[in-house]
Amino acid sequence: MRATLLTGPVLLVLLSPGSAAERVSSRDLIAAGTAAKLSQIDQMRRDCGDDRSVAAWLKDVLGDSAKRITWSGGVCRLTNKQNPIDAGGGVCAQAEITPKSGRDNATIEIYFDAPVRGRPGAPFAFRAVVHTKDGWDYMRETSAFAVNWRETYAAGAPAVAPSGHCE
């Protein structure tokens, strides 16, 4: 799959071999990203039956430690083409989180399957980068993001269950 960002700020065209071009708006990707269920994008959350939306979960994790959350939608950015599990789905919703502490911004990304009739496909993965106490870290689990965010940006915030445990 090849992705090309058009000149308009809201339109992304995906070209797949043998198929017509599909258009997905940034607005639709943002709506789908914030509404995605944790159980759809994180295996541990699926095992725990955690069906909170990404928006609700993010609010729980950040509390009052974030100054701003800026959502966007478009080509997946938190990808690693050398590792198939991190290759992305072509289109993603991203949230850049600015902490009140003034430290480096964190980013989360929701991967989607190929678009269907101009709408985002099903959400299937979570990726994040956050500056931890040990430097930048790339994460695949929502619990890892929560632990690292709270440890780095929200000292004194309520603890979260360690990875592999239901909260």
Q: What is the pLDDT of residue 95?
A: 97
Burial class (CB in 10 A: 0-12, 13-18, 19+), 6: exposed
Count of beta carbons in the 10 Å neighbourhood of residue 18: 4
Gap between the Cα atoms of 119 and 155, Å rounded = 39
From the first residue on, what is the mean pLDDT of each consecutive set of 10 residues in the chain (167 residues)?
35 36 84 97 92 95 94 92 81 96 91 93 95 90 92 69 53
At position 89, the amino acid (one-letter code) is G
At position 56, the amino acid (one-letter code) is A
Q: What is the pLDDT of residue 153?
A: 86
Per-residue CA distances from 133 to 34, 39, 84, 127, 136 (Å): 27, 28, 28, 19, 8
Gap between the Cα atoms of 120 and 6, Å rounded = 17
Q: What is the pLDDT of residue 17?
A: 36
At position 106, the amino acid (one-letter code) is A
Could you tell me the pTM of the whole model?
0.80
The answer to whether 101 and 153 are in contact (CB under 8 A) is yes
Per DSSP, the residues of 24-37 read: EEHHHHHHHHHH-B
The DSSP 8-state label assigned to residue 159 in this structure reads P
Gap between the Cα atoms of 16 and 144, Å rounded = 33
Q: What is the pLDDT of residue 74?
A: 93
Gap between the Cα atoms of 122 and 32, Å rounded = 9
The answer to whether 66 and 114 are in contact (CB under 8 A) is no
